[in-house]
Amino acid sequence: MPHPIYDTLKKALEEKIILHDLADQPIDITCKALSAQQAIGTPDHDDYPIIKGREVMVEASFLDAKGQSFTDAFENRSYRIKDLLSMDLSTNQKRASFIASINAVYRHLLLADKTIHCRDKEPVLCAKELSSIIPEGSKVLLVGHQPRFLETLSSHCQVRAVDLDQDNVGKTFFTVMIEPEDHTQEAINWCDSIFATGSTIVNNTISTFMEADKPAIFYGVTITAPAKILNLTTFCAYGH
């Protein structure tokens, strides 16, 4: 079952729909898997999940705005904005459409920015910013195998990393072995802080990190509008 936070997101969206009289506006959910070049351009590395085919980018267009979300499941269809309020959010597929859509709506209303993924050399530049927000020598739990973030964090922090992708689990990258999901709670107990992918809002695991007794930062464009609603700390240095 989806966590109650999705009801909170729907309620916030409903308030904006009523306030701005948006109920009958069409929202085009383009849920095809964007090509790697469409999603991330031509970065210097080819080990990102979207390039390896592990994830796809869902993009929603609402009037003059676009919102995106990362997911492992997608659909290709259109909704009326009011349809989002009754959407069954029990699958990654539907949650991806919903999250991309709420990102697009909030972008249109100027309530959120950085709803489009960074491109080309920007992922590397983004990772270099981590040293300014994660203290040197601290113990960090990285949730989601983001290669540039792991590379940077492992150079100045103690790092543990968990990931849902079974092809990554058990492998070592930048001296850090990727651990399975069932190690998450023990890793939370170990760490000083959590640095988690915003796509946890799509795969319905975000509550584990929101409710942990450790400071959490959520990274990436997927979490942009939900973070505004849920008052979460985020990191996305080069989103568009």
32 and 104 part of one domain: yes
Query: Once rounded to an integer, what is the mean pLDDT over residues 117-145?
Result: 88
Residues 19/1, Cβ–Cβ less than 8 Å: no
Query: Once rounded to an integer, what is the mean pLDDT over residues 115-130?
Result: 85
Q: Look up the CATH number of the domain holding residue 153.
A: 3.40.50.11590
Q: What is the pLDDT of residues 77-107, one digit of tens each?
A: 888 888 899 999 999 999 999 999 999 999 9
Query: Considering the domain boundaries, does residue 164 fall inside one?
Result: yes
CA 39 to chain centre: 14
Query: Considering the domain boundaries, does residue 98 fall inside one?
Result: yes
More confident residue, 120 or 232: 232
Which domain, by its residues, includes 224?
122-235
Query: Considering the domain boundaries, does residue 240 fall inside one?
Result: no
pLDDT score for 27 = 75
**CA-wise closest residue to 197 among 206, 186, 188:** 206
End-of-domain residue from the set 108, 137, 155: 108
End-of-domain residue from the set 81, 108, 135: 108
Query: How far is it, in rounded angstroms, from Cα 74 to Cα 91?
Result: 10
Query: How far is it, in rounded angstroms, from Cα 5 to Cα 102?
Result: 14
Q: What is the pLDDT of residues 164-215, one digit of tens each?
A: 888 888 999 999 999 999 999 999 999 999 999 999 999 999 999 999 999 9
pLDDT bin (cut points 50, 70, 90) of residue 54 is low
126 and 223 part of one domain: yes
Total domain count for the chain?
2
